[in-house]
């Protein structure tokens, strides 16, 4: 739909192509990549005009990268001079820039996005004011383009719909309390009926207490023996904490019953009674006695009701309990619907939900119960579950339009908070202020500073750097006995805090590549061999050596890019190419097995084995760059700990990237990467745009992506600048219709 | 013996205090027969069990054909069920092959397995494969049961990162496709499967409260369906398709509620509610297989799919002392140590599956066992995981198919026989007649005759 405009007048003379590109191709490329030879299925000879070049930008992006990094022309061919390389690259960059300004931006089209699990949880939290996290039990959302908020991929199934129904009912119940009276009941748990994991003779049960109140706990002991000479005592525990210890005095030839009063908070608690001996040790063998049953009776003297925080958000008029007139009930429904739909609602829409209140009240339900039904209906409406954007001409692919203010507020809030817009954003949209000069900047600032920005860190960073996989990795315990949940959590936290720091303080995104500080607590500092950091709390730490610095050296990233039992230079190299250098390697060609390196064995070090592999020219074309990057990080083991040896071999973290760029340590590798900052910026920008839009990028997006990165570079790579550039871009501000596609 | 009377719902609810995972007690089964219409012929059930990353085929395929084949090591846990199994050799999923699309065999293996189609190569936009055999059956016979089908799994979809060489994760995470672009994601948490079958047990509900709740739910579903209908007219085709998926789901739930009202009885679950997905793989398998058995036994559904791992899975099977990730191991390049580890994993999977078959076999159903009235497919969309081959797939067909199969044999078919021929033959036996499915070319023969 966006045909290249030849009316710009290059067709005729096209001096740039003739003077710069053509001689370069003729001298350095066409020997192999001619129309006839077509090595690697690439024909560069057929390009005769700049128009032809601009019509195949993906191809030329790749060619330019190979020329820049020195991958092409390959070893053994005369290398072009620096001036020649600069010449052709500058020519292409300028042609791109000119092209980008000349085309009318195509905003593209975003498919209606179902809220994914994280968005659903956050939205419910902000909508009702209680963090219920109901989506934990929903199926994992499929992802596309590396993210799980892609409209096209987020599907809907009956099983999920069932969960939405259940969740809606639970949320409505939690959000609106009903006055309750508690009947006193008695529950008996018998040891011959209950299976549990407590010690022999004990009894452990989980009991759900309806309300914080006094309860009577009764422990019945049975046993054949009379007074135990060894001084057995019995302990009552709640949630593992000792509540009371009883001496056992009477001969227990029939159940002996011990009573105690407890006052647990509402909710499930673990109740246990077990025996201890004279030394206070828990008995875990048959001593002829056992806990026969536990009784729980109550509640007595229930604690006065405390309204949940949701009442303030939802019950905006009237008085709890029960005092709501019809106008107020309708207002409650109207407000809730408006907030849930993230836009103003029509009286008809309100009626369609208020209807449930009326019907339920006619059924004799209380106002609270009646309101719950209305809430439940709103929460399963497609207008809540999906972010639907209206389009005046939905089927005309040529019709672009600026999205409405409420739609923009919604895009913003799901981008930076992974949640619904707050009242401030909503009001700005209502007053048509959002697009006034300076307002978007102000709001983006405010949103990044807000605690809800954690939604961005969790979801964007968690997926860009695959940090989410950190929850799942299971480093082999026999090799990494030190890896535990505390370390796992600390690894993740470091990267999150670091990212937040850069974002909130509007630092350069290049700090992700290298920095002289990080965030540590005692556990992680120990892992890094850094002393003088104490306690569980994280703090900013100035790094004294070049061992660490930048996200590449974070244990989190190094762990998720390793196998459970060893490092993998290939995996790490691939990780860097994909996520940092915007150069995802093509998958291995068909019928060539993946280069899966083996663990260091007596056949030589891992590195020696891999180098042998790379003598294969087909493998070498990709692996020379990929493996070199990975080798540069070999000083970090599979859980990111610094090492100088791997088994009997000493670590060699030197390498050479195509173009004779050599490095001897991780620190030197990082300085080489700093030279490729433009690729890094492009990688990060592309990922962030995909995340912000909820769709993959297409060829028509490339001009805008390049423009964003050009502006970003001019700003000194400031984080907020990147966010603002995305927010202001046509794809974020506009949408177009859709053509008939199969 | 425990009878249903002893396990009233109330008892069960009180017992929820303890959420210890207990395998289904065989002794309980008599109390728990399907709500069968007395004298009626038991229904035929079908299930599909998928294992990822292929199988070491030289230790799988029997050398002999016919009834007296010898078991190779990987298949040997199935030996007690020789009389109830068909080993099918030579079947191919051509749609799994590259066909010009380059790498991505894992994504294609899972996507083609039950569809017989070639997935469109896309990381997200316009995913497209084809309707899967289980869903063809579910759409025809699903109305008879509470759940048209159940989709289960033992491993969550990959949390993050690209899945396979430019293919959306939807392809490698799902087996069941309701339409060519709507996958049905598997549920991996046994507790949630349990709650779907038996209710959450959150609160005790009497008949009046239940009726009232169902009335509102129906009304809510009704009105969101109407709302969706009018909303759709203002949207472009892709957005409409998304809302169609939604609408279909709403209609499904409506049907379920109707079925529930019709057939509702206080069914006591035969075992207590599982706490969640256990870390131990065998335990996780057993819970799922118990739930599958009970779902079939209750006639809550007649169609089930189970992914024992997502395709391309890198699970480390520490339970059997293998700490290497599964997928990298399968690229063994004939390294003996690696091959042996893969064999152990393959066999371990078969052992779990044998537990399921034993369970079905032990469960009386009408005039025979549940196994007699079922057709259970076990297999992988890859044969050789090292070379990514899509022909000669490992396939078992277990059960008697309600008298329509003649098990106890190893059958070898001509090279490149479409796997979908088997599915057409199975659908036929389910009473679902289709002319063709995916790339099928007729009905697979030699299943009921020699």
Residue A693 and residue A705 in contact, taking contact as beta carbons nearer than 8 Å = no
Residue A519 and residue A484 in contact, taking contact as beta carbons nearer than 8 Å = no
Residue B132 and residue B116 in contact, taking contact as beta carbons nearer than 8 Å = no
Give percent of chain A with pLDDT exceeding 70.
Answer: 92
CB-based contact, B219 to chain A, within 8 Å: yes
- pLDDT bucket at B164, cuts 50 / 70 / 90: confident
> Which residues neighbour A648 within 8 Å (Cβ) at sequence distance 6 or greater?
none
Residue B35 and residue B298 in contact, taking contact as beta carbons nearer than 8 Å = yes
User: For position B265, what pLDDT does the model report?
Assistant: 56
Asked whether the predicted pLDDT for residue A675 surpasses 80, the reply is yes
CA distance A296 to A214: 10
Q: Which of A175-184, A667-676, B17-26, B109-118 has the lowest mean pLDDT?
A: B17-26
Residue A67 Cα, gap to closest chain B Cα (Å): 25
Chain A residues near residue B224 by CB distance under 8 angstroms = 377, 380-382
> Which one is predicted more confidently, A6 or A349?
A349
Nearest CA in chain B to A697: B125
In this structure, are strands B176-179 and B150-153 parallel, antiparallel, or unpaired? Answer: unpaired
Nearest CA in chain B to A396: B236
At A67 the three-state DSSP class reads helix
Asked whether the predicted pLDDT for residue B345 surpasses 90, the reply is yes
- pLDDT bucket at B13, cuts 50 / 70 / 90: very low
- pLDDT bucket at B26, cuts 50 / 70 / 90: very low
- pLDDT bucket at A9, cuts 50 / 70 / 90: very low
User: For position A46, what pLDDT does the model report?
Assistant: 92
Chain B residues near residue A158 by CB distance under 8 angstroms = 148, 184, 248-249, 252-253, 256
> Which one is predicted more confidently, A614 or A577?
A577
Mean pLDDT of all residues in B392-406: 96
Q: Tokens 């989709």 map to which residue?
A: B151
Mean pLDDT of all residues in A136-142: 86
How do residues B207-223 score in pLDDT, each as one tens digit?
Answer: 777 788 888 999 999 98
CA distance A211 to A265: 7
CA distance A689 to A670: 25
User: For position B450, what pLDDT does the model report?
Assistant: 63
- pLDDT bucket at A7, cuts 50 / 70 / 90: very low
CB-based contact, B40 to chain A, within 8 Å: no
- pLDDT bucket at B369, cuts 50 / 70 / 90: very high
> Which one is predicted more confidently, B51 or A283?
B51
User: For position B45, what pLDDT does the model report?
Assistant: 97
Asked whether the predicted pLDDT for residue A593 surpasses 80, the reply is no
CB-based contact, A87 to chain B, within 8 Å: no
Average of per-residue pLDDT values in chain A: 89
The secondary structure of residue A430, as a DSSP letter, is H
- The percent helix, strand, coil of chain B (3-state, each to 5) is 40, 15, 45
- pLDDT bucket at B17, cuts 50 / 70 / 90: very low
How do residues A301-337 score in pLDDT, each as one tens digit?
Answer: 998 888 899 999 999 999 998 999 999 999 999 999 9
Q: Tokens 């018998």 map to which residue?
A: A190
Whether omega for the bond prior to residue A73 falls within 30 degrees of 0, making it cis, is yes
User: For position A229, what pLDDT does the model report?
Assistant: 63
User: For position B196, what pLDDT does the model report?
Assistant: 85
Mean pLDDT of all residues in A76-80: 85
Residue B218 and residue B254 in contact, taking contact as beta carbons nearer than 8 Å = yes
Q: Which of residues 120-149 of B touch A (CB under 8 A)?
A: 122-127, 148
User: For position B15, what pLDDT does the model report?
Assistant: 32
Average of per-residue pLDDT values in chain B: 85
> Which one is predicted more confidently, A391 or A579?
A579
User: For position A79, what pLDDT does the model report?
Assistant: 86
Residue B167 and residue B124 in contact, taking contact as beta carbons nearer than 8 Å = no
User: For position A232, what pLDDT does the model report?
Assistant: 82
In this structure, are strands A645-646 and A661-663 parallel, antiparallel, or unpaired? Answer: unpaired
Mean pLDDT of all residues in B299-305: 95
Residue A658 and residue A70 in contact, taking contact as beta carbons nearer than 8 Å = yes
User: For position A8, what pLDDT does the model report?
Assistant: 46
CA distance A109 to B419: 38
CA distance A689 to A694: 8
Q: Which of A105-119, B8-22, B265-279 has the lowest mean pLDDT?
A: B8-22
Q: Residue A670: is it exposed, middle or buried by C-beta count within 10 angstroms (0-12/13-18/19+)?
A: buried
Neighbours of A564 (CB within 10 A): 23
Please tell me the number of Cα atoms within 13 Å of A665 on its side-chain side: 9
CB-based contact, A184 to chain B, within 8 Å: no
Most A CBs within 10 Å: which of B246, B273, B300, B324, as the mutation test of the A interface?
B246
Dihedral angle of Cα B226, B229, B232, B234, to the nearest 10 degrees: -80
Asked whether the predicted pLDDT for residue A24 surpasses 80, the reply is yes
Asked whether the predicted pLDDT for residue A371 surpasses 90, the reply is yes
Residue B282 and residue B352 in contact, taking contact as beta carbons nearer than 8 Å = yes
User: For position A390, what pLDDT does the model report?
Assistant: 86
How do residues B231-250 score in pLDDT, each as one tens digit?
Answer: 888 888 889 989 999 999 99
User: For position B161, what pLDDT does the model report?
Assistant: 54
Asked whether the predicted pLDDT for residue A375 surpasses 60, the reply is yes
User: For position A588, what pLDDT does the model report?
Assistant: 66
> Which one is predicted more confidently, B162 or A727?
A727
Q: In the numeric block, which tokens belong to residue A6?
A: 């030849």
Give percent of chain A with pLDDT exceeding 90.
Answer: 59
Cβ–Cβ below 8 Å for B169 and A146:
no
Cβ–Cβ below 8 Å for A587 and B166:
yes
CA distance B159 to A117: 12
- Residue in B182, B181, B175 with CA at minimum distance from that of residue B109: B175
> Which one is predicted more confidently, B325 or A589?
B325
Most A CBs within 10 Å: which of B15, B220, B385, as the mutation test of the A interface?
B220
Please tell me the number of Cα atoms within 13 Å of B316 on its side-chain side: 16
User: For position B39, what pLDDT does the model report?
Assistant: 56
User: For position B201, what pLDDT does the model report?
Assistant: 61
Mean pLDDT of all residues in A99-104: 88
- Residue in A598, A618, A594, A626 with CA at minimum distance from that of residue A610: A598
User: For position A13, what pLDDT does the model report?
Assistant: 56
User: For position A2, what pLDDT does the model report?
Assistant: 41
Cβ–Cβ below 8 Å for B220 and A376:
yes
**Whether the complex's predicted ipTM surpasses the cut of 0.90:** no
CB-based contact, B335 to chain A, within 8 Å: yes
Q: Tokens 């109140």 map to which residue?
A: A213
Cβ–Cβ below 8 Å for A140 and B19:
no
How do residues B42-95 score in pLDDT, each as one tens digit?
Answer: 999 999 999 999 999 999 999 999 999 999 999 999 999 999 999 999 999 999
Asked whether the predicted pLDDT for residue A576 surpasses 90, the reply is yes
Q: Which of A444-448, A704-708, B122-126, B199-203 has the lowest mean pLDDT?
A: B199-203
Residue B428 and residue B140 in contact, taking contact as beta carbons nearer than 8 Å = no
Chain B residues near residue A480 by CB distance under 8 angstroms = none
CA distance B312 to B314: 6
CB-based contact, B280 to chain A, within 8 Å: no
Q: Where are the strands (E) in A509-666, listed by range?
A: 517-520, 539-542, 645-646, 649-650, 655-657, 661-663
User: For position B9, what pLDDT does the model report?
Assistant: 34
User: For position B64, what pLDDT does the model report?
Assistant: 96
Asked whether the predicted pLDDT for residue B380 surpasses 90, the reply is yes
Asked whether the predicted pLDDT for residue A591 surpasses 60, the reply is no
């Amino acid at each position: 739909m966006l045909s290249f405009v030849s009316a710009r007048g290059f067709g005729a003379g096209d001096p740039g192509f003739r003077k710069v590109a053509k001689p370069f191709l003729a001298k350095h490329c066409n020997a192999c990549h001619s129309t006839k030879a077509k090595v690697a299925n690439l024909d560069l000879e057929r390009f005769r005009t700049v128009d032809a070049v601009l019509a195949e930008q993906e191809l030329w992006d790749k060619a330019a990268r190979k020329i820049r990094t020195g991958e092409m022309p390959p070893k053994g061919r005369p290398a072009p001079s620096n001036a020649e390389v600069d010449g052709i690259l500058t020519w292409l960059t300028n042609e791109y820039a000119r092209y980008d300004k000349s085309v009318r931006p195509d905003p593209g089209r975003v498919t209606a996005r179902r809220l994914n699990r994280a968005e659903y949880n956050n939205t419910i939290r902000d909508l009702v004011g209680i963090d219920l996290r109901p989506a934990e039990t929903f199926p994992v959302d499929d992802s596309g383009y590396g993210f799980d908020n892609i409209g096209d991929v987020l599907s809907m199934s009956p099983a999920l719909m069932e969960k939405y129904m259940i969740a809606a009912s639970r949320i409505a119940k939690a959000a609106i309390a009903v006055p309750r009276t508690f009947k006193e009941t008695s529950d008996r748990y018998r040891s011959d009926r209950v299976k549990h994991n407590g010690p022999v003779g004990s009894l452990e049960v989980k009991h759900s207490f309806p309300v914080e109140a006094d309860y009577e706990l009764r422990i019945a002991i049975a046993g054949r023996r009379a007074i135990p000479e060894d001084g057995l005592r019995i302990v009552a525990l709640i949630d593992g904490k000792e509540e009371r210890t009883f001496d056992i005095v009477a001969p227990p030839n029939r159940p002996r019953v011990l009573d105690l009063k407890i006052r647990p908070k509402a909710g499930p608690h673990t109740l246990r009674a077990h025996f201890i001996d004279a030394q206070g040790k828990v008995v875990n063998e048959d001593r002829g006695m056992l806990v026969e049953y536990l009784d729980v009776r109550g509640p007595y003297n229930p604690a006065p009701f405390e309204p949940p925080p949701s009442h303030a958000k939802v019950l905006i008029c009237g008085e709890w309990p029960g005092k709501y007139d019809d106008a107020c009930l309708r207002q409650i429904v109207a407000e809730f619907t408006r907030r849930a739909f993230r836009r103003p609602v029509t009286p008809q829409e309100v009626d369609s939900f208020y209807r449930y209140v009326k019907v339920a009240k006619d059924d004799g339900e209380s106002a609270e119960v009646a309101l719950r039904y209305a809430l439940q209906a709103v929460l399963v409406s497609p207008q809540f579950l999906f972010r639907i954007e209206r389009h005046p001409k939905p089927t005309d692919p040529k019709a672009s339009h600026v999205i409405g203010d409420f739609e923009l507020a919604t895009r913003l809030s799901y981008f930076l908070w992974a949640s619904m817009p707050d009242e401030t954003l909503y009001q700005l949209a209502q007053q048509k202020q959002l697009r006034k000069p300076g307002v978007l900047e102000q709001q983006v600032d405010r949103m990044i500073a807000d605690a809800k920005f954690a939604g961005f860190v969790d979801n964007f960073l968690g997926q860009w750097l695959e940090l989410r996989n950190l929850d799942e990795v299971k480093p082999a315990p026999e090799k990494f006995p030190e890896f535990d949940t505390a370390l796992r959590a600390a690894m993740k936290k470091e990267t999150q805090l670091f990212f937040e720091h850069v974002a909130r303080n509007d630092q350069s995104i290049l700090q992700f590549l290298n920095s002289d500080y990080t965030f540590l607590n005692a556990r992680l500092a120990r892992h890094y061999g850094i002393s003088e950091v104490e306690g569980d709390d994280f703090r900013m730490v100035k790094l004294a050596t070049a061992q660490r610095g930048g996200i590449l050296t974070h244990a989190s990233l190094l762990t998720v890019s390793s196998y459970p039992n060893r490092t993998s230079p290939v995996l790490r190299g691939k990780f860097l190419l994909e996520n940092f250098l915007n150069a995802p390697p093509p998958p291995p060609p068909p019928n060539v097995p993946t280069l899966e390196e083996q663990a260091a064995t007596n056949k030589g070090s891992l590195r020696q084995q891999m180098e042998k592999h790379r003598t294969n020219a087909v493998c070498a074309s990709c692996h020379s760059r990929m493996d070199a990057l990975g080798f540069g990080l070999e000083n970090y083991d599979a859980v990111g700990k610094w090492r100088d040896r791997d088994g009997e071999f000493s670590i060699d973290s030197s390498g050479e990237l195509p173009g004779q760029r050599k490095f001897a340590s991780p620190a030197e590798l990082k300085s080489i990467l700093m030279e490729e900052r433009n690729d890094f910026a492009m990688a990060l920008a592309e990922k962030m745009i995909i995340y912000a839009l909820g769709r993959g990028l297409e060829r028509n997006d490339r001009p805008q992506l390049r423009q964003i990165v050009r502006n970003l570079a001019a700003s000194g790579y400031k984080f907020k600048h990147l966010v603002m550039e995305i927010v202001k871009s046509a794809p974020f501000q506009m949408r177009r219709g859709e053509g008939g596609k199969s | 013996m425990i009878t249903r009377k002893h396990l009233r719902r109330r008892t069960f609810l009180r017992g929820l205090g303890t959420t210890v995972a207990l395998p289904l007690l065989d002794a309980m089964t008599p109390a728990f027969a399907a709500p069968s219409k007395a004298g009626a012929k038991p229904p035929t059930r079908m299930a599909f069990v998928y294992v990822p990353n292929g199988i070491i085929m030289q230790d799988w395929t029997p050398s002999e054909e016919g009834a007296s084949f010898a078991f190779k090591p990987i298949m040997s846990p199935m030996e007690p069920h020789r009389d109830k199994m068909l080993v099918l050799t030579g079947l191919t999923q051509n749609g799994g092959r590259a066909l010009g699309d380059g790498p991505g065999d894992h994504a294609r293996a899972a996507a083609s397995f039950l569809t017989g189609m070639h997935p469109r190569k896309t990381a997200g936009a316009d995913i497209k494969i084809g309707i899967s055999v289980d869903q063809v059956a579910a759409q025809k016979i699903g109305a008879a049961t509470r759940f048209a089908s159940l989709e289960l799994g033992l491993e969550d979809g990959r949390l993050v990162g690209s899945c396979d060489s430019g293919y959306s994760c939807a392809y490698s995470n799902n087996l069941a496709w309701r339409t060519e672009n709507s996958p049905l994601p598997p549920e991996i948490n046994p507790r949630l499967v349990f709650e779907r079958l038996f209710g959450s047990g959150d609160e005790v509900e009497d008949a009046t409260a239940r009726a009232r709740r169902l009335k509102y739910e129906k009304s809510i579903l009704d009105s969101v369906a109407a709302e969706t209908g009018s909303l759709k007219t203002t949207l472009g085709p892709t957005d409409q398709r998304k809302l169609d998926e939604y609408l279909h789901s709403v209609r499904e739930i409506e049907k379920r509620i109707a079925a529930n009202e019709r057939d509702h009885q206080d069914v006591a679950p035969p075992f207590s509610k599982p706490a969640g997905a256990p870390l131990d793989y065998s335990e996780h398998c057993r819970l799922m297989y118990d739930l599958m058995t009970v779902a079939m036994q209750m006639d809550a559904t007649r169609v089930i799919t189970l992914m024992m791992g997502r395709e391309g899975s890198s699970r480390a099977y520490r339970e059997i002392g293998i700490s290497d990730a599964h997928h990298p191991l399968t690229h063994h390049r004939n390294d003996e140590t690696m091959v042996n580890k893969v064999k152990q994993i393959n066999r371990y999977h078969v052992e779990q599956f044998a537990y399921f078959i034993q369970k079905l076999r032990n469960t009386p159903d009408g005039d025979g066992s549940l196994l007699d009235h079922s057709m259970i497919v076990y297999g992988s969309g890859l044969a050789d995981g090292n070379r990514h081959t899509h022909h000669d797939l490992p396939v078992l067909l277990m059960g008697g198919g309600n008298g329509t199969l003649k098990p106890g044999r190893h059958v070898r078919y001509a090279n490149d026989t479409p796997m979908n021929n088997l599915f057409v033959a199975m659908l036929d036996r389910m009473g679902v007649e289709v002319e063709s499915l995916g790339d099928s070319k007729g009905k697979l023969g030699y299943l009921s005759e020699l």
